Amino acid sequence: MKTLFIGSLLLIAISVTGQVDEIKSASKDNSNRSRSGGSSGSDGGSSGGNGFFMVDLLFNGVFQWQGAKLSDDRSRYPSMVSLDVMLQGGVKPSSYYLLWPRVRGNWGLFSTDFRMNYLIEDDVDGYKHIRTNDWQIIQINLITSRFITLRAGTGVMQETFGGEETFSESAFMFGVHAPDQTKAIGFEYRFSKDWDTGANPRREFSVQYQHQVFSAGALHGNLSVGAVYQRYYNSIEVWAVQAGLVFRIFKPVVRNGWDE
């Protein structure tokens, strides 16, 4: 009976694993196509004084936008200037685990966000995993109101396996929260692209709810629950139920009422 039970467990483990090897194989195939295919170049055009004028106008507009956000009433968006440290993970029962250690810095109009994305499987020969380093180098906080956050950004996704290829990655985040940000629900979409081969190394959609459980001065601790769906190379699907801790550091706001 014991032998039968162990054998059943091994069969289950064999049947539910495979995403790690499939993603590695897809990444290798994409890398080979990139090396064998040519890239087409384009002749650059010349820019005159109008180009410099437009750049100057753009920078002036950005500086004014940043100044307006930083001088806004901080009670409308307490974490306008903040540091977020996220320790989150997910699991698909009997299949694999996902881990996302992540840090994000916010400064008015701008944010930068770095995370490591782990996919871990329990194989018959032991644990195996893959990891990507995902850096949203620059994000623009388009809306930071009492109830809504809208953020868009661009950066890179680096595979730390195979040929360690690096791809461009865009991200969009929409959040709805309480005015004091003690409760929030957020939706995030990520999209990476290999411009040499046209492949999509990963698409991702996630949703999570955060609830503040303690506050000590500038330190705010939150519990998070949610779900994530990832699709690698347009064919390999990964999903998980996730939970974790989110620590946010920002100056607390003393409120005299709910009125603006």
Mean local confidence (pLDDT), 98-106 = 97
- For residue 9, pLDDT over 50 is answered with no
What does DSSP say about strands 81-92 and 183-193: parallel, antiparallel, or unpaired? unpaired
Q: What is the CA radius of gyration of the chain?
A: 22
Q: What pLDDT, on the 0 to 100 scale, is given for residue 254? A: 66
Give 243's strand partners.
89, 225
Strand pairing of 96-107 and 126-144? unpaired
What integer is the mean pLDDT of 139-148?
94
Q: Which two tokens stand for residue 182?
A: 């003690």
Q: Cα–chain-centroid distance for residue 38? A: 31
Look at residue 8 and tell me whether its pLDDT is greater than 80: no
Are 208 and 226 in contact, with CB atoms under 8 Å apart?
yes
Q: What is the pLDDT of residues 42-86, one digit of tens each?
A: 454 445 566 666 777 677 788 888 888 888 767 788 899 999 999
CA 256 from centroid of its chain's CA atoms: 35
3-state secondary structure the chain: CHHHHHHHHHHHHHHHCCHHHHHHHHHHHHHHHHHHCCCCCCCCCCCCHHHHHHHHHHHHHHHHHHHHHHHCCHHHCCCCEEEEEEEEEEEECCCEEEEEEEEEEEECCEEEEEEEEEEEEEECCEEEEEEEEEEEEEEEEEEECCCEEEEEEEEEEEECCCCCCEEEEEEEEEEEECCCCCEEEEEEEEEEECCCCCCCCCEEEEEEEEEEEEEECCEEEEEEEEEEEEEECCCEEEEEEEEEEEEEECCCCCCCCCCC
**10 Å Cβ neighbour count for 100?**
18
123 strand-pairing partners:
126
In this prediction, residue 259 carries a pLDDT of 42
Q: Exposed, middle or buried, 220 (CB in 10 Å: 0-12/13-18/19+)?
A: buried
pLDDT in tens, 183-200: 999 999 999 999 999 999
Domain range summary for the chain, segments of one domain joined by +: 2-33+53-249
Instruction: Give yes or no for residue 252 having a pLDDT over 90.
Output: no
Instruction: Provide the percentage of residues in the chain whose pLDDT is more than 70.
Output: 83
Mean pLDDT of the chain: 85
* C-beta atoms surrounding 40 within 10 Å: 4
Separation between Cα atoms, residue 220 and residue 260, nearest integer Å: 23
- Specify the pLDDT at position 67: 85
pTM: 0.81
Question: 21 CB contacts (<8 Å, ≥6 apart)?
Answer: 128
CA-wise closest residue to 153 among 194, 110, 121, 185: 110
Decide which of 57 and 21 is more confident.
21
Strand partners, 89: 99, 243
Which pLDDT band holds residue 219 (cuts at 50, 70, 90)?
A: very high
Q: Is 11's pLDDT higher than 70?
A: no
